[in-house]
Amino acid sequence: MATQDQLNALIADIASDINGFIGASVVDVESGLPLASKSIRPEFDLDVASAYNSEMVKNKRKTIDALRLEATLEDMLLTLDTQLHLLKMIDDDTFIYLAADRQATNIALLRSAVNRHVAALNA
């Protein structure tokens, strides 16, 4: 598992690399608690978002098991009319949650930046 400094650096690097960055957190899947987080909008509650997104990850894993798929969850993308939300698994126990303004970025750029930074963390 990465150190606190590495997780904070991951969030900071992603924030500076993504146009339209709203907020991001590294989340413990089991507890739903953010291990590191940053938001540029005070009203964007990353504690709440982390908890609910953790439930989505757990439920998607249950779906994969129920369907007896030989697969591992890599990421989940949610598109809203004004925002893009990406959940990217870092390892079995943690994921990164990212929200960005849809007018300032696109899915390909968002996914590419997050994948690059997570790969660097896991290297």
Query: From first to last of its 123 residues, what are the pLDDT tens digits of the chain?
Result: 788 999 999 999 999 999 999 999 999 999 999 999 999 999 999 999 999 999 999 999 999 999 999 999 999 999 999 999 999 999 999 999 999 999 999 999 999 999 999 998 887
Helix (H) or strand (E) holding 21: strand 21-28
Cα-based distances in Å from 19 to 48, 51, 70, 73: 23, 25, 35, 26
**Percentage of the residues of the chain whose pLDDT score is greater than 90:** 93
Which helix H or strand E contains 13, and what residues bound it? helix 4-17
The answer to whether 87 and 63 are in contact (CB under 8 A) is: no
d(CA 70, CA 64): 8
